[in-house]
Structure 1
Amino acid sequence: MTNVYRRNWVLVIFVGLGILASGRQVNATLIAWSTTTSTKLTAGLYASEDLARDWQRVLQLASSQDTFLVSYATGVSHYYPAIKSTDSWIVLPGVLNPKERDQILQSIAAAEIVIEENGDLPADVREALGRMCLTETLVKFKIWQKPNQMGACRST
């Protein structure tokens, strides 16, 4: 009889955790919907005000300079052809295969401007960015620029 009660209590605990988790998910979804908007600037996708403002700056740079985006936004070049992006869904240490890593490093070396979405990057990608000039730090992105031929940083 005690095993039955024990199983029932375990079941009640798991059901309670499931309800709490669902409630938190509903709450997070409602907050996301209330704090994001869909605009032409973001190609009709929902984004926070901070992201939309930062994205406007990214588009401004991409309109006049070769721009590469290091982010999980792999489909961004479909909406914004002026912006090149990674072919990898996940740009994290220990996750990229050699082909993906090489593509990212070559794209960084070729670009005038690299937009880094804030986050954790593999050491060699971070090192490649370190050879560039950090020109702006926005809420959602860091903007890196290739140094001039003398190796000096210039303003964007």
Structure 2
Amino acid sequence: MNLRKIFIPLGIVALAIAGYRAYGLQGILTVSGGLVMWGLLHYTRLMNVMQKARNNPIGYVGSAVMLNARLKSGVNLMHVVAMTRALGEQLSAEGQEPEVYRWTDGTQSHVTCEFVNGRLVRWNLVRPAPGEDPAGES
């Protein structure tokens, strides 16, 4: 069970109650202003990540090896998109868990990432064999 779905609303209610008990209506307005600011900061970050990602093709990353080295379990999809500056190529069916995305670099090395509940749980780096032609030409 995702505890964030329980603790975040409870935290908001606790902040509102504490604000009211300390400062009355002005405390509730202050807490509301802080929550709006928190929401706007997240929205701004999301928009900045998407603006940077629009300049690269879907599923492209500069270096799959470097991406593999920088990935950590538990980060969310937006964090990975911010690292790659590109949306991942979706390999799983839409709305299906786990969500599987792939990022490929110019040498055809690719990193395949699995996300469960929006969080990275496992990833795999695949590199072509040294004698293998990356373009697949003979």
TM above 0.5, yes or no, is no
Calculate the TM-score normalised by the size of structure 2: 0.30
Q: Which has the higher contact order (CA 8 A, sep 6+)?
A: 2
Calculate the TM-score normalised by the size of structure 1: 0.27
